Structure 1
Amino acid sequence: MTAFEIAIQDPTGIAVAVAVRPDRVELAGALSTGGVTPSPALTESAAATGVPVHALIRPREGGFGYDDAERDLVVADARHAIRLGAAGVVIGGLTADGAVDAALVERVRDVVGDHEITFHRAFDQMADRRAALDVLVGLGVTRVLTSGGAGRAIDATDELRALVAHADGRIQIMAGAGVTSQNVAELAATGVDAVHASAKRTVVEQLTVSLGSGAPAGESGYATADEAEARAIRAALAGASS
């Protein structure tokens, strides 16, 4: 059966993971920006549930070309996440010419030991994804999270099949971006090893004054995990494998 990873960012998401029991959790903060490193307390709380937690280690929003200080922070946060009980880390970085930042991955491997490493959607920013897969295999990365280079994974099923074929069991391919209970079976049919979904709902609130460019005054909201959608994704995957 295709594995199910749920992306969560708050205590509600942790509760949904406990109820639904996905194969693993990607834990992050600020998922609306693509995610950043979660707080230590959130990481520790999620790890205590017994659901394998893979902590996103991303020092800021934006692109994936990091300076030395940001790389140092990635390495330190990866070390700390493992100490807090994470089963693995989710990282990524690009060189100035848009290739895998192999030196960063090697440094993270040194501090996480045998724990799993997922290379995140920095992968989708690269022009030659097959060459990148070969590099990541050589670095001992466990899996790659990818939309196949599209805005939504469901729009790149041919590319996902091609990546699965190129990986040839050497590294796991996990489809993510816009994964829902309505399209997850079609994605599983590409042969990917796993799917990654936030299974989210939006909570609407009112802000009296603006809190910043991303949170203007007036009707606002935030996303959190939805148990019903998470269960529907899991059920669709089970049906696809039967």
Structure 2
Amino acid sequence: MTRIPALEIAVQDPAGVRIAGEVGAARVELATALALGGLTPSPATLELSVEAARAAGVEVHVLVRPRGGDFHYTADEIAVTERDIRRVLEAGADGVVIGALDADGRLDVDVMTRLRDAAEGASVTLHRAIDVTPDPLATLDAARALGLRRVLTSGGASAAIDGIETLRTLVAAAEGRIEIMAGSGVDPSNAAVLAGTGVDALHFSAKRSVVSDGGVRMGSAADGVGGYEVTDRDIAFAVRDALGS
């Protein structure tokens, strides 16, 4: 019988946190700008989300990422990330989600050590930066040596279902000493199959788009005329129900 993995929902606001609580998720990954892969949320968003999480009985793990794009950061960006880690934990977050790579695209152990230390013992998750490293297994070993709690990965593919064999390999290599959480493209159609790899958790956003075309472009994105994303309660429940939970 397949073990039912823990659920983590990527949300952007207190409303998403409350939906995660209804679904029975273990935790949320709180971020903003999920369309960009996620960025550090605002202080007020964090404060209100922590309040909602306490009432809903879920943990809040905050994505701390200073910008979109790659994961090779400047000294200023690293300093921003370090301070943001301290501030989100002071605001009540249960953990942080981070990642930094060196110029060769490998996990930057020196920077990760600095950021891990800024967390002062709180839960640290390595995010999908692992999926663009040349050797995910070596990255997993480095994350485990750093004492990180878990790794969020799609198995090196754009969608987790396409990286399923690598996910199985990562689960075996982890030997239960670091959690493997599958994420990217997790939906009701593939959640049970991904759970069958033995991953410790499934990460999904259950989001839908709300389009509001005001006729004036507000950003540089091709679809940036208007619109935003919200957590969809029905999708979240559908993922949960697909697991038989």
In structure 1, the residue matched to 2:5 is 2
Normalized against structure 1, the TM-score is what? 0.94
Instruction: Confirm or deny that 1:33 pairs with 2:39.
Output: no
Q: What is the CA–CA distance in structure 2 between the aligned matches of 1:45 and 1:10, rounded to whole Å?
A: 8
Unmatched segments (≥5 aa) in structure 1: none
Q: CA RMSD in A?
A: 1.4
**Which residue of the other structure, out of 222, 240, 243, is the alignment partner of 1:237?**
243
Structural mapping, 1:182-201, within 5 Å: 182-201=189-208
Shift of residue 221, structure 1, vs aligned partner: 2.4
Instruction: Confirm or deny that 1:24 pairs with 2:24.
Output: no
Instruction: Confirm or deny that 1:105 pairs with 2:100.
Output: no
User: Percent same amino acid among aligned pairs?
Assistant: 50
Counterpart AA for 2:30: L
Q: What is the CA–CA distance in structure 2 between the aligned matches of 1:208 and 1:99, rounded to whole Å?
A: 43
**Which residue of the other structure, out of 45, 48, 73, is the alignment partner of 1:45?**
48
Alpha-carbon contact 2:13-2:49 (below 8 Å) kept:
no
Structure 1 residues 130 and 216: alpha-carbon distance in aligned structure 2, compared to 1, 3 A threshold: closer
Q: Cα deviation per residue 1:157-184 (whole Å; 9 max; x = unaligned)?
A: 1111011011111211110000001110
In structure 2, the residue matched to 1:222 is 228
Shift of residue 58, structure 1, vs aligned partner: 0.2
Alpha-carbon contact 1:208-1:217 (below 8 Å) kept:
no
Instruction: Confirm or deny that 1:122 pairs with 2:129.
Output: yes
In structure 2, the residue matched to 1:178 is 185
Unmatched segments (≥5 aa) in structure 2: none
**Which residue of the other structure, out of 42, 48, 57, is the alignment partner of 2:64?**
57
Q: What is the CA–CA distance in structure 2 between the aligned matches of 1:217 and 1:82, rounded to whole Å?
A: 32
**Which residue of the other structure, out of 121, 137, 140, is the alignment partner of 2:147?**
140
Normalized against structure 2, the TM-score is what? 0.93
Q: What is the CA–CA distance in structure 1 between the aligned matches of 2:221 and 2:214, rounded to whole Å?
A: 12
Q: Cα deviation per residue 1:22-67 (whole Å; 9 max; x = unaligned)?
A: 1100000100010000011111111122220000000000000001
Alpha-carbon contact 1:43-1:81 (below 8 Å) kept:
yes
Q: What is the CA–CA distance in structure 1 between the aligned matches of 2:208 and 2:123, rounded to whole Å?
A: 29
Q: May I ask how many residue pairs the two structures share in their alignment? A: 238
